[in-house]
Amino acid sequence: MGSMLTVWGRRSSFNVQKVMWFVGELGLQHEHIEIGGRFGGLDDPAIRRMTPHGKVPIIDDGGTVVWESHAILRYLCAVHGAGRFWVEDPAERARIDKWMDWAHTTLQPDFINGVFWGLYRTPAAQRDQRAIQRAVARCTGHFRLLDRLLDGRDYLLGDVFTLADIPAGAHLFRYFNLDIERPDLPHVEAWYRRLQERPAYRDHAMVPFEDLFGRLEY
């Protein structure tokens, strides 16, 4: 099998980016196989044996197969994050989980689905401008909330970078590079600059997305 850890999923996938960013933060030796999107391969029997729904990311860590980006983040944190990312205290872990789940269930649907898919991935003639505007407005609210949270702190939970920063922080490259209305976000922008000092962020969460323009098929 080569290396212990294998990650499947195209680098242009938002859900893959969160996982690859964390693999980079952990400094884990791994093999990365681009599947999905223009690479195809999601219907291969070997992939379907690992994940019944045929979506990326997927990992195999020494025989343990995990899919769903946040399940993967938590698994990698528990197994490989000792001393740096893993926390034992359930209350402390819940502080992290709250923001991870908020990002996945609230921010991501409004931004990645509503704005990124609605505006960028949908061909101009098919765009629903009113729906896009409503999603942009909801994102304005979400990013304002993050801006208030980040006032006076370096990272979402305080002085230290945690897993909570990954799902929300992975949105910033696309949010700040789309041609949309944004409110004043001084603290979010400072956080974005701070994240860009991390090589793993630059390598995995700032992936150009032009090849997704006008493409609804994957």
Ligand X SMILES: N[C@@H](CCC(=O)N[C@@H](CS)C(=O)NCC(=O)O)C(=O)O
| Residues within the interface to ligand X (CB under 6 A) | 10, 13-15, 36-37, 42, 55-57, 68-69, 218
The H or E element that residue 144 is part of is helix 129-150
As measured in angstroms, the least distance from the Cβ of 99 to ligand X is 15
Residue 170 or 185 having the CB closest to ligand X: 170
The H or E element that residue 185 is part of is none
Q: What 3-state DSSP class applies to 31?
A: strand
As measured in angstroms, the least distance from the Cβ of 25 to ligand X is 18
Q: Give the chain's count of helices (H) and strands (E).
A: 10, 4
The residue sitting closest to ligand X, measured at its beta carbon, is: 36
As measured in angstroms, the least distance from the Cβ of 190 to ligand X is 27
Residue 13 or 162 having the CB closest to ligand X: 13
Residue 14 or 111 having the CB closest to ligand X: 14
Residue 10 or 142 having the CB closest to ligand X: 10
Q: Return phi, psi of residue 63, to 5°.
A: 105, -15
Crossing angle for the helix pair 90-102 and 69-80, nearest 10 degrees? 150
Q: What tokens were used for 81? A: 């994050």
As measured in angstroms, the least distance from the Cβ of 155 to ligand X is 22
